Amino acid sequence: MPISLQLINLMAALLLLIAFAMLSQRRILSLIYLFAWQGAVLAANSVIVAWSTGQTHLYYSALVTFALKVVVLPWILHRLIIRLNIKWDVETLINIPTTMLAGIALVIISFNLALPISQLAGTITRGTLGIAIAIVLLSFLMMITRRKAVPQVIGFLAMENGLFFAATSTTYGMPMVVELGIALDVLIGMVILGIFFFQVREAFDSLDLKHMEKLREE
């Protein structure tokens, strides 16, 4: 097996481990750090794929990924939790062992879904498609099992990481114009969500989404 393929498989395994760590994490600050590490591994994977395939546009993609998901977004999230004085503990709707078992089931489903697609793909990274789908599903599971708004937003951002990894696995990434557009949308979305967090905090003195559910019922 070529060294480049071994490194790509290693990056995929690290991304999956980080996704499980985020799923089991109980502290918001640690969740932000794990998201930054996920972005760093994603950027490193793009560099490895670019080096092994000659897809030079992936170098620029890796640079944008590192700047946005390792530096800018974690910094914004960190500033938000400080300004909002959010409790460090993450409240979950389901206990952690049950959530992890559900995550393992999602990984099995992901590999079964990716198998026929991987057989048709012609890229050297086609074997990592199952992990990419698993990251998306695990991030979605993290979103629906958290009570607070900030962990749900981090789950949404992690899901976008999984989609980006899936694009790299199947087609060696998206056109640079598309990637820059997505990066800008994500950045603007974070600014809007930051304003939304402050508005919710002022209205309910909490970021627990159960207050919004009560408001909807009224």
Per-residue pLDDT of 103-143, as tens digits, reads 999 999 988 888 777 666 656 566 788 888 899 899 888 88
**Confidence check: pLDDT of 160 > 70:** yes
218 lies in a domain?
Answer: no
69 lies in a domain?
Answer: yes
Could you read off the pLDDT of 174-209 as tens digits, one per residue?
555 455 555 555 665 666 565 555 555 555 555 555
**Confidence check: pLDDT of 18 > 90:** yes
Domain of 7 in residue numbering reads as: 3-213
Number of domains in the chain: 1
34 lies in a domain?
Answer: yes
Which of these, 36, 32, 43, lies nearest to 77 by C-alpha position? 32
What phi and psi, each to the nearest 5 degrees, are found at residue 51?
-70, -40
22 lies in a domain?
Answer: yes
Percent helix / strand / coil, the chain, rounded to 5: 80, 5, 15
Q: The whole model's pTM is what?
A: 0.79
